[in-house]
Chains A and B, each alone.
Chain A
Amino acid sequence: MDPDLSVAIRSEGDRTVVAVSGEIDVYTAPKLREHLIDLVSGGHYQLVVDLEGVDFLDSTGLGVLVGGLKRVRAHDGSLHLVCSQDRILKIFRITGLTKVFPIHASVTEALSADA
C-alpha cells in the first residue's frame, strides 16, 4: 500500500466508481494505470474516476487517464471524471483536455450523465 496514493473501487449500477485520493504523479501514476487496466480486463467499461480526494495531478497522471479513456473507448465504454477543485481543473484547462474528458462536479452528477 502506497501512502501517497489510494484507490477505492465500487459499483454503482452498471458504472464503476474509481475514487482516487492522494497525489497522482510520476511515481504513483503507474499504480493508477494498473487499476484501470485491471478494470478493463475484468469487463468494466463504464468508469467514473473521482478525483475529489486528489490534491496533486501532473502530466504523467493525465497520460494515465487518457490511456484509460482509450481503453474503455475500445469497448464502447466511457470514462467520466469528477473534479470540482480548481487546482486540479487548471491542468485540464491548460492542456485542452477539458474537451476530451466529460468532467462533473460530483459523483451523483457523473452517474446521472449519459455513459
Chain B
Amino acid sequence: MATVKVSFTAVTAHVRTARLVALAVARRAGVAEEMLDEVRLAVGEACSRAVGVHSQLGGEHPVMMQLSDDRDRFSVEVVDRGTLDEDPAGVLADIDLHEVSSRALDDDIPETLPSGFGLAVISGLVEDLDVASDGASTRVTMVWPTTLRRGGI
C-alpha cells in the first residue's frame, strides 16, 4: 500500500490544495478519468466540512487527509478533531437533499444550506462511504475502484 498524507491548517484556502493533491494521487493510482470529478468534489466537501468543524471549535488542530492506493482501490480519509455534539452519521441518515432543496426558498431557512448538506452531497456521489465519529474526532472514508495499474503512488 502506498500512502500520501497531508496535514493542513484549518483554513478554507487550503481546501483547494487538498483537492488538487487528492486529484493528482487518484489519477496516479489509476482511478478512471470519468470519476476524477467526483473525487475532487467529494474530497472538497469532506475537507470543507472538517475546516468548518475546526473553525467552530477554535484551536490549532490541523485537518488530516490520508490517500491510500491499495491494489484495486483508492481510498481517502479525512479526519477532523471535532467534538461537536452533532453525530455526523446521524445527520447523514436524517438529511434528505431533495427535501432540503425543495424547501430552500422558504423564508425560515437561513441563507447557507444546513450543516450536513456537504456530507449528504458526498453520499450522493460516493457509493463506498463511511462516516465514523468517536466523540473526539470524525473520520470520513471514501473509496473508489482503480482500473489501471501504474505501480505505487
Q: Are A97 and B37 in contact (CB under 8 A)?
A: no
Pick from A67, A87, A94, A100: contact of B111, CB below 8 A: A67
- Which among B15, B37, B40, B107 has the highest number of chain A CB atoms within 10 Å? B37
Residue on B with the closest CB to A68?
B111
Q: Are B105 and A69 in contact (CB under 8 A)?
A: yes
Distance of A13 Cα from B12 Cα, bound (Å):
37
Q: How many residues of chain B are within 8 Å of chain A by beta carbon?
A: 31
Interface residues of B in 131-152 (CB under 8 A from A): none
Say which one of A19-27, A43-51, A104-112 lies at the interface with B. A19-27
Q: Are B113 and A96 in contact (CB under 8 A)?
A: no
Residue on A with the closest CB to B44?
A58
A66 at the interface (CB under 8 A from B): yes
Q: Are A100 and B101 in contact (CB under 8 A)?
A: yes
Pick from A63, A69, A94, A100: contact of B124, CB below 8 A: A94
A73 at the interface (CB under 8 A from B): yes
Q: Within 8 Å CB of B113, what residues of A?
A: 59, 62-63, 66
Q: Within 8 Å CB of A90, what residues of B?
A: 37
Using known A-B contacts A4-B16, A26-B12, A67-B112, determine if residue A56 contacts B101 with beta carbons closer than 8 Å.
no
Measured CB to CB, the closest approach of chain A to B21, in angstroms, equals 15
Distance of A27 Cα from B44 Cα, bound (Å):
11
Using known A-B contacts A4-B16, A23-B16, determine if residue A66 contacts B48 with beta carbons closer than 8 Å.
no
A75 at the interface (CB under 8 A from B): no
Measured CB to CB, the closest approach of chain B to A16, in angstroms, equals 20
A10 at the interface (CB under 8 A from B): no
Q: Within 8 Å CB of A62, what residues of B?
A: 113
Distance of A72 Cα from B15 Cα, bound (Å):
30
Q: Are B15 and A95 in contact (CB under 8 A)?
A: no
Distance of A94 Cα from B45 Cα, bound (Å):
14
Q: Within 8 Å CB of A87, what residues of B?
A: 37
A6 at the interface (CB under 8 A from B): no
**Known interface pairs A26-B51, A70-B107; 5 further A-B residue pairs with C-beta atoms within 8 A, sorted by A's residue number:** A69-B104, A69-B105, A95-B101, A95-B121, A99-B101
Residue positions of A touching B, CB distance < 8 A: 4, 23, 25-27, 56, 58-60, 62-63, 66-67, 69-70, 73, 87, 90-91, 94-97, 99-100
The 8 closest A-B pairs by CB, nearest first: A96-B98, A67-B111, A96-B101, A94-B124, A27-B12, A26-B48, A63-B113, A26-B12
Residue positions of B touching A, CB distance < 8 A: 12-13, 15-16, 19, 37, 40-41, 44-45, 48, 51-52, 97-102, 104-105, 107, 111-113, 117-118, 120-121, 124-125
